[in-house]
Amino acid sequence: MDTVTPALRLDTRRPTAIAVLAMGGQGGGVLVDWIVALVESQGHVAQATSVPGVAQRTGATIYYVETIAPDRSGRRPVLSLMPVPGEVDIVIGAELMEAGRAIQRGLVSPDRTTLIASAHRAYAVSEKVVPGDGAGDPAKVYEAAQAASKQFLAFDMATIAEQTESVVSAALFGALAASGALPYPRAAYESTIRAARLGVEASLRAFDRAYAAAETERRSPTAPAARPSAGSVKKKLPVLGPIGDAAFDSLVERARGLPEPAHGMVAAGLARVVDFQDVAYGREYLDRVEAFAAIERQAASASTAFPLTCAAAKQIARAMAYDDVIRVADLKTRGSRFERVRSEIALRPGQIAYTTEFMHPRIEEVCGTLPAGIGLWLESSPRVQGALRRFVDRGRRVQTGTIGWFLPLYLLAGWRRFRRGTLRHRREAAHIAAWLDQANVAATRDIALGVELLEARRLVKGYSDTHDAGEGRFSRLMAIARRLEGRADAADWVRRLRQSALADAEGRAFADTIKTVESFL
């Protein structure tokens, strides 16, 4: 006898949709697990999926949860696997710009979406690859978030996580609880954390702090406590004062003779070049800065802000403390670095952490680290280069916590006492001398042009291919600047050239600006 299968009865009620955007290491998966456990502990149905991004490299993973109360009539819920623009009730961004990207994707709606975000920044590769300042403007994200969402809660949850020795996911969970976007009591959230049995006390501390901060935000929604303004983040410069080392303190005393507005930058620059090499190198630095200060003091149009001296103090230090293999080895073997790593991963007493570095110096870096004569010989010997390249080009994964790798890097760092005799230093010194000569001559006639020529050094940064590309653009800019000298608008055009060169990694804007300048030269 045939049996008839009853028709499947579906629950067509609309579920609550939750999207979580998080980068690798921010605990997005843990947060989603907590949300699912919370929902299920309250007798509701939940379904979670994720679309992996490239995490720390370029983007975030999007986690998606749909939840619905069970239907008493026995109908089965219909839950989606992906967020649909305009249909998301709660969006959680583990970092500020992830909230901005959620808005761009249309996941945030003013009539239904509660948007929760940590106000801290973890810069994406798309921001870092810009030669200049490619960081997104957080103020614009705040403005867009308030306009696009029904409720917007944002404050620095990364700092809360750090202070409570927890992770940002626990703080986000606390903000979600305080938002009231889900119909569950605070006790249910806390019970969920306890049931996970992992870092319970630290997670509860972060949850509590974030809950309180979110409640404060809800009481004053028109004035978010952590709202930034464009360009509001400024580095705090050190004080130009003695440190207790007689040789260094003598340089500090000499540096105090420079214009006072430049003292903070001089303090930072002097510390940098002495740390890079030695006290004698610090004297060379002050010689160069003092030359520009003398020009500025004699100029009839000198500003009380002394922009030429300040630019010299900053850019000369950056140029003199260039990145080379010796510097990399020095930084990777410092005790302060090991301490910072231990602090960042919250290493507990008795635990051991090993840091794995990927070292991949090019043959050019190897030649540059050698004494100038040997380096030049190696560069002119294709056969020797070929044999060495087969070893160098493979790269190495280096564990600096082992004696087998720490000791070679430590010895290489000690090679800095011989740095002045290396091929790389000889070339850098010649490059710096030519740059400063041109800036010095220009500044005697036009202070503004001198400032722009000094600031042009921003194009040269990093090492390997990044350094080569920047140096190429810098050389082109300096060559055009030489042709612009004597024009009343020379400084303005050099500034435009620098800004366009820093605008994109591909150099398209720079090429367009060069064409414009070439049209009237």
- 250-287 pLDDT, tens digit per residue, is 999 999 999 999 999 999 999 999 999 999 999 999 99
Neighbours of 358 (CB within 10 A): 8
Instruction: Give 373-442 as a DSSP string.
Output: HHHHHHHT-HHHHHHHHHHHTT-EEEETTSHHHHHHHHHHHGGGGGGGGBHHHHHHHHHHHHHHHHHHHH
| Pair of tokens at residue 187 | 């006790």
**Of the candidate ranges 77-81, 164-168, 346-350, 443-447, the one whose mean pLDDT is the lowest:** 346-350
Cβ atoms of residues 284 and 241 within 8 Å: no
> pTM for this one?
0.74
| Residue 438 resides in a domain | yes
Alpha-carbon gap, residue 164 to 285, rounded angstroms = 43
| Residue 344 resides in a domain | no
Residue 129 confidence (pLDDT): 66
Q: Residue 419 is which amino acid? A: R
Closest CA to 452 of 470, 439, 441: 439
Residue 25 confidence (pLDDT): 66
**CATH code at position 115:** 3.40.920.10
Burial class (CB in 10 A: 0-12, 13-18, 19+), 289: buried
Give the tens place of pLDDT for each residue, 361-375: 788 888 899 999 999
| Residue 362 resides in a domain | no
Alpha-carbon gap, residue 469 to 355, rounded angstroms = 30
| Pair of tokens at residue 510 | 């720079």
Ramachandran category for residue 49: left, alpha or beta (phi over 0 → left; psi -120 to 50 → alpha): beta
Alpha-carbon gap, residue 446 to 455, rounded angstroms = 14
Burial class (CB in 10 A: 0-12, 13-18, 19+), 145: buried
Give the tens place of pLDDT for each residue, 475-521: 999 999 999 999 999 999 999 999 999 988 888 999 999 999 999 88
89 band by pLDDT with thresholds 50, 70 and 90: very high
| Residue 323 resides in a domain | no
| Residue 252 resides in a domain | no
Nearest-Å Rg of the Cα atoms of the chain is 29
Residue after which a domain boundary falls, among 181, 200, 219: 219
Residue that has been written with the tokens 């404050």 in this structure: 155
Q: What are phi and psi of 49, to 5 degrees?
A: -140, 170
Residue 484 confidence (pLDDT): 95
| Residue 518 resides in a domain | yes
Residue % of the chain over a pLDDT of 70:
91
Give the tens place of pLDDT for each residue, 4-39: 555 667 877 889 999 999 876 677 889 999 999 999
Alpha-carbon gap, residue 28 to 50, rounded angstroms = 10
Q: How far apart are the first and last CA of the chain?
A: 96
Give the tens place of pLDDT for each residue, 115-154: 999 998 877 666 666 776 767 778 888 889 989 999 999 9
Q: Residue 517 is which amino acid? A: V
Residue % of the chain over a pLDDT of 90:
58
Q: Which domain holds residue 439?
A: 424-521
Q: Is the pLDDT of residue 327 over 60?
A: yes
Q: What is the chain's percent helix, strand, coil content, to nearest 5?
A: 55, 10, 35
Number of domains in the chain: 2
| Residue 389 resides in a domain | no
Give the tens place of pLDDT for each residue, 190-246: 999 999 988 899 999 999 999 999 998 887 755 444 455 444 445 688 999 999 999
Instruction: Give 52-71 as a DSSP string.
Output: ---TTSS--EEEEEEEEPPP
| Residue 326 resides in a domain | no
